[in-house]
Structure formats: structure tokens, C-alpha cells
Structure 1
Amino acid sequence: MSTDEQYWYNTETKAVEVGRRSAWSHLMGPYSTRAEAERALESAKSRNESWEQDDKDWRDK
């Protein structure tokens, strides 16, 4: 496997794909490593919570 391969998380199958194989509507990524792709949903949830808090803080000022 080459070092420039990209990993994608498929939200429909809940599997990591090497290279883009599925429809864009089911993919998150690209990620540099399989481990990053495996944590795609966790990372997205964390970012969303952070952004929501930032928005709340901004509105409350």
C-alpha cells in the first residue's frame, strides 16, 4: 500500500474504505490513516459540539 492512499468512512456500511469506492453521499473523509477514518463519527460529533458551544457563546455576548 502506498503512503498516499486515502481512507474514507462509509456511513451506510459503517466500514472504512481504502480509496473512494462508494457514492459521495455515504462517505466521510478523506483521512490519512485507517484509525482516523474509524473515528470519523466520533470526531465529527466532537467538532459539532464545539462549534455549537462557540455559537452559543457568541450569541450570549
Structure 2
Amino acid sequence: MSEKTWYYNVATGEVSDEKIGSWDNRMGPYATEGEARNAFEIAHQRNEDADERDRDDDWDNDDWG
């Protein structure tokens, strides 16, 4: 039996344990209902983390072998 997953619907602001609505209005899956309720905060933090990794990359390195 698979574990329950949760989704956040950006069009309605509702959290559900089913894939309700269109995929382009749905964020998830999340492991808990609480994570789904914090979907925007989680996405924001993931974006911040990715931006930090991009800043740390050495894009000016011409040593491609």
C-alpha cells in the first residue's frame, strides 16, 4: 500500500489528498498535509537554495579540458 500524498491547489487555496483540478494549478506531492499548506514557503526556500548554488558555481571557468 502506498503512502498518502498531499497537494496544494493554487487556484482554490485548498489542500487535498487527491489530485483535484488541473496539473497547472496543483503543487505537490507533499508527504504531509502541513507541508502542502506551506507549499509556497517550501517553493520559495527551494528557489533560494537553488539561487545560492548558482551563485557558488564557477561559471567563468574556461578549463573545459
Using structure 1 for the length normalisation, give the TM-score. Answer: 0.81
Unaligned runs of 5+ in 1: none
Report the structure, 1 or 2, having the larger strand content: 1
CA distance in 2, matches of 1:11, 1:34: 15
TM-score (norm 2): 0.77
Give the structure with the larger helix fraction: 1
Partner of residue 32, structure 1: 31
* Runs of 4+ residues over 4 Å off in structure 1: none
Q: How many residue pairs were aligned?
A: 59
Greater radius of gyration (CA): 2
Gapped runs of 5+ residues in structure 2? 61-65
Q: Cα RMSD between the aligned structures? A: 1.8
